[in-house]
Each structure stands twice: as C-alpha cells, then as structure tokens.
A and B are shown apart, each in its own frame.
Chain A
C-alpha cells in the first residue's frame, strides 16, 4: 500500500517538473523582410520588431502608442498599395486585432494610435504572442513579439486555482477502490 502511494506521488511530481520545463518560452528573434518598426507606449515600454522573442513587454490596458516603421526599401516612384495586420496567437489558431491598407508614396510612416483592450482580456497574465505583418512593394515583413497587459490577474485567477484544487482532489478520489474490492 505504502509503495503504491509513494509511486503515485512520484509520478505526479515528475509530471509537474515536465510541465514547468515545457512552460519555458521559446528564444530567438522572429522577423523577416527588410522592415523595422517600433512602438512607444504611455507607460514607457518600448516594443521593437528586433527585440528577442523571449522578452515580454508589459503594456497598458489602454491609451496611445507612438509608432514608426519603415519598409527598408527605396522610395516608390508613385503610389503603391500596402496592407497589414496584427494578430494574436491562441492555442488553436489566432485572432486579428487590427488591419490596415491603402496607398502610399513613401516607405515609412509614423503616427499615434489610440487603443483599448477589451475587459475580457486578462490583465497580468501570461504573454500574448503578437505578430505584425506588412505587405508593400512585393515585400512581406513579419515580426513577432511577446506582450502582456499590465495589471493583476484578479478573481478569475483565484477561481482557476480553486477549480484546480477541487478537480485535483477528484483525480485522487478516482484512485480510491470501490467497496468490495480488495
């Protein structure tokens, strides 16, 4: 009986160690194309297309961001079309949070963008993998960074923790033998 309990506890401990190791974020820059861009948030956070992907930038849950970017290519001779988007990766697929398109005669842009983060997006949580994509003059530029919304997890995290404990007890309860079985 004691040997079985110790083995069960040992297996659960190994699984916990594996989970922690697998939670380590990837390292490396994800960028393609000649583009570069930078965004300065109201809390002083600077997000750059060249920062390593394992750096998590903490940004406010609303406000303005001063951005600038360049395609890295020569100025076009006339109006050229462009389009782009910002996507957030999910466990399955992703969602597009903003898109842009139009025509331009320049190879760079700088402006201020006002944004708000919906209340259902958790604050102070794990990193969101954000990918910006810009297409212009036959070139596709992609940059991926990790960002998190500043704040505290709130009641949702506490509910998650309580649920984990309750259902963990259920898993242990499943290990109790039925009556009548030796």
Chain B
C-alpha cells in the first residue's frame, strides 16, 4: 500500500462512529437508523481505500549521486607540452 493502512483502519472506523453519533445528537438521523452501524464500516473501507490509493504526495526517492567524470575527458583537458 502506498499510504498508511493502520492509520486508515483506525481513523476510518472512528470517523464513521463519531459521524454517526454526531448526526444522531444533532437530530439528523433517528436512533434506530441503520446508518449508526453502517457508517463505521464505511469509514473502515474509506480509510483502507485512502491508504491503498495514496493520492497525496509523500517523500520522494533520494537522488542518485552524480557519476564521476570519465577518464578520457580528464586527459583531454591537459594542455599539450
């Protein structure tokens, strides 16, 4: 996975759980709504999907060291006697 799956799993589940609780407490959904147990599962899947997708930029691979100059080029640069 390109992203962070453990973070995605835990954050996704908790995001769905807190979202469901908040929607109920603010009167958006009734207590018996199936959303209250579906949202944590959706959050779980969303977190895993984000981790697998990795759409946001992270660290790049270190740039390779520059190659040493070729020996022929060093000899050509010497002035002729």
Interface, chain A (partner B; CB < 8 A): 1, 4-5, 7-8, 12, 15, 19, 22-23, 25, 88-92, 94, 122, 124-129, 146, 148, 153, 156-157, 160-161, 163-164, 167-182
The tally of residues in B whose CB lies under 8 Å from a CB in A reads 46
Residues 23-73 of B contacting A (Cβ, < 8 Å): 23-37, 39, 42-43, 46-47, 50-51, 53-61
State how many angstroms separate the Cβ of A151 from the closest Cβ of chain B.
11
Query: Which of A19, A156, A163 interacts with B14 by CB under 8 Å?
Result: A163
Q: With both chains docked as a complex, state the minimum distance between the C-beta of A102 and any C-beta of chain B, in angstroms.
A: 30
Contact A125 B26 (CB under 8 A): yes
A-B contact pairs, 16 of them (CB 8 A): A23-B33, A125-B26, A128-B30, A129-B31, A156-B25, A157-B25, A163-B14, A167-B11, A167-B12, A167-B15, A169-B11, A171-B43, A172-B56, A173-B11, A174-B50, A178-B3
Name A177's contact: one of B8, B11, B37, B57 (CB within 8 Å).
Answer: B57
- Dominant secondary structure of chain B at its interface with chain A: helix
Interface residues of B (CB under 8 A from A): 2-5, 7-8, 10-12, 14-15, 18-19, 21-37, 39, 42-43, 46-47, 50-51, 53-61
